[in-house]
Amino acid sequence: MELTPGSWLLSFLPILTVVILMLLFKWGALRASAMSWLVAAAVSLIAFGGSWLILAWSQVKALVLAGNLLVIVWGALLLYSLASEGGSIRAIALFIPRLSNDRSIQLLLIAWLLTSFLQGQGGFGVAVAVCAPILVGMGYDPILSIVMTTIGHGWAVSFGGMASAFESLIAVTHVPGILIAPYAAILFGLSFVPTGVIITLLGTGWKGVRHAFPAILAVSLTMGTSLYLLNSQGFWSLSTIGPSLVGIATLVLLTRLPGYQGTKTAVANGDHELHPRDLLVHLTPYILLVVIGFAVTLIRPLNAFLNQVSISLQYPEIVSGLGFVTPAESSPVIHPFSHPATVLLVTSLLSYIVLKHEGMLDHTSPRRLLSLTSHNVVGASLGMIVMAGVSTIMTHTGMTSTLARGIAETINRVIYPVVVPFVGVIGAFLTGTNNNSNILFGALQAEAAGLMKLNVPLILAAQNAGGSMGSVMSPTKLIVSCITVGLGGQEGKVLRKLIGYGLIPITVIAIATGIWSWLLGGGA
């Protein structure tokens, strides 16, 4: 379709619908996504040459797209229900103060570093599903708990799960990863300080920020350095787990300092005592998650063995009434035996056996667990399928392409690098994943940067960073997060609080990209 202000605005309408309904009218994500689906379908049928055949294919592809993520969400919700029923979340809430009674340090550890570490192996929704309830258990407001944990792991998405999102970017742009990765490390590294400050500010106020700032700086420096070293040597598949562990180690070392030990009066639930053995049993689901996740991801022979079975579907070429062609393609390859959902399922089963054996679950627990999980799963699944449908309808009728071309062709080369991360955010917000944002916009960003004679690896690193940080704010992920803290259907309220703070690290990255590009000759 010809690019005009009208066609661009129409392309933007489905996204605008979700944002306005959630932010201004406080609609839940499912309801807003459904409205957005109707708008996308209507715009595609009326103005973009859409047909019922295209809608049907879009919805089938959306099911496959969402299905790959849904199984992870189901696994995460099952593990969360098990941990909740077995008392693990409460036990962690009691354990953290033992490490340090300092509220700022506790917050940084859970909302920033633990979420990032879990994102490194658990993927979609697991980090917030595990950590937000822990913060609620420690006495934090549920909305703030989601906001802090969401912002905390925004940087970790791109290189989590064996860096699948980053690998997708390399695949669609054909730009070597080793050229993009160092830029990506520095851009993410620049977001660390603002991320730590926002979390501390939300949890403990400006006084807490002043108190924790040296710790935030130290953790940012060690994490940033390790991220850069890993990326510049080509080990980006470890670039979430590695820096997260370095950050946790740094913070634990800092708790040895008298200034970060805190005071006893600040301890939540301080009257309760747990024996080390009980604590270990309570922590079983998370210890197993880490051990099994690590084994499947990092033990190469095991990973290769499990990856022998793969599933991929073939789609035909789809042509819209206006001639927009979506070439014949394969769906992303799924390895069922090394899939994060399988890791979560095996973890849940083993944890159940251990917790049952230790008397922390009774014979009525399985029924309650399945009932709780299934009730949560249905709403989350609907929301994700509908939002994935919006994304695929827009992609197959050329609306996404129109949207991206409009940005690339109308913005000059000095401003363009600043806008790039926000394009990544739009892609991720719409599709729910950094991976799909990179697939949607990666090639276009590379082409536009080439035409404008900008530094292509830097631009791609900025797209990747925006996609990573935008994906955690997407309605599909918020649905899962909200369920775990009892805020199901109130995603609009959470997004309203989240978006202002969540955009700060992205804005820092955008400004840094603009300045860096200008220094590299992008303003000449």
Partner 1 sequence: MSLNKETKKFRINLLILVIEVLLPFVLLYALRNDYTLLGRITSAILVLGIIYLVVFK
Shortest gap between Cβ of 63 and partner 1 (angstroms)?
A: 6
Question: In the stretch 470-499, what mask flags binding to partner 1 with x, by CB under 8 A?
Answer: -------------------x----------
**Judged by CB under 8 A, which of 106, 195, 297, 381 binds partner 1?**
381
**Judged by CB under 8 A, which of 5, 52, 258, 265 binds partner 1?**
52
Residue 57 φ then ψ, to 5°: -65, -40
- Candidate ranges 34-42, 84-92, 183-191, 458-466; the one touching partner 1 (CB under 8 A): 34-42
| Closest to 149 (Cα-Cα) out of 198, 101, 105 | 198
Strand partners, 325: 319
Longest alpha-carbon distance in the chain: 71
Residue 464 φ then ψ, to 5°: -65, -40
| Closest to 505 (Cα-Cα) out of 387, 422, 412, 427 | 422
**Judged by CB under 8 A, which of 37, 80, 140, 286 binds partner 1?**
37
Tell me: does residue 31 bind partner 1 (CB under 8 A): yes
What are the percentages of helix, strand and coil residues in the chain, rounded to 5? 75, 0, 20
Tell me: does residue 375 bind partner 1 (CB under 8 A): yes
Q: Count residues near partner 1 (CB under 8 A).
A: 27
What is the H or E stretch that residue 374 is in? helix 365-396
CB 388 within 8 A of CB 70: no
**Judged by CB under 8 A, which of 18, 19, 41, 118 binds partner 1?**
41
**Judged by CB under 8 A, which of 15, 18, 22, 35 binds partner 1?**
35
| Closest to 108 (Cα-Cα) out of 135, 83, 137 | 135
Tell me: does residue 53 bind partner 1 (CB under 8 A): yes
> Quick one: 315 or 518, whose CB is closer to partner 1?
315
Residue 79 CB neighbour total at 10 angstroms: 27
**Judged by CB under 8 A, which of 55, 144, 288, 393 binds partner 1?**
55
Angle at Cα 486 formed by Cα 99 and Cα 123, nearest 5°? 65
Shortest gap between Cβ of 430 and partner 1 (angstroms)?
A: 17
- What DSSP assignment string belongs to 100-149? ---HHHHHIIIIIIIHHHHHHHT-TTHHHHHHHHHHHHTT--HHHHHHHH
- Candidate ranges 104-112, 142-150, 289-297, 374-382; the one touching partner 1 (CB under 8 A): 374-382
> Quick one: 37 or 260, whose CB is closer to partner 1?
37
Tell me: does residue 386 bind partner 1 (CB under 8 A): yes
- Candidate ranges 97-105, 263-271, 381-389, 513-521; the one touching partner 1 (CB under 8 A): 381-389
> Quick one: 34 or 420, whose CB is closer to partner 1?
34
Name the residues that contact partner 1, by CB under 8 A: 27-28, 30-31, 34-35, 37-38, 41, 52-53, 55-57, 59-60, 62-63, 374-375, 378-379, 381-382, 385-386, 489
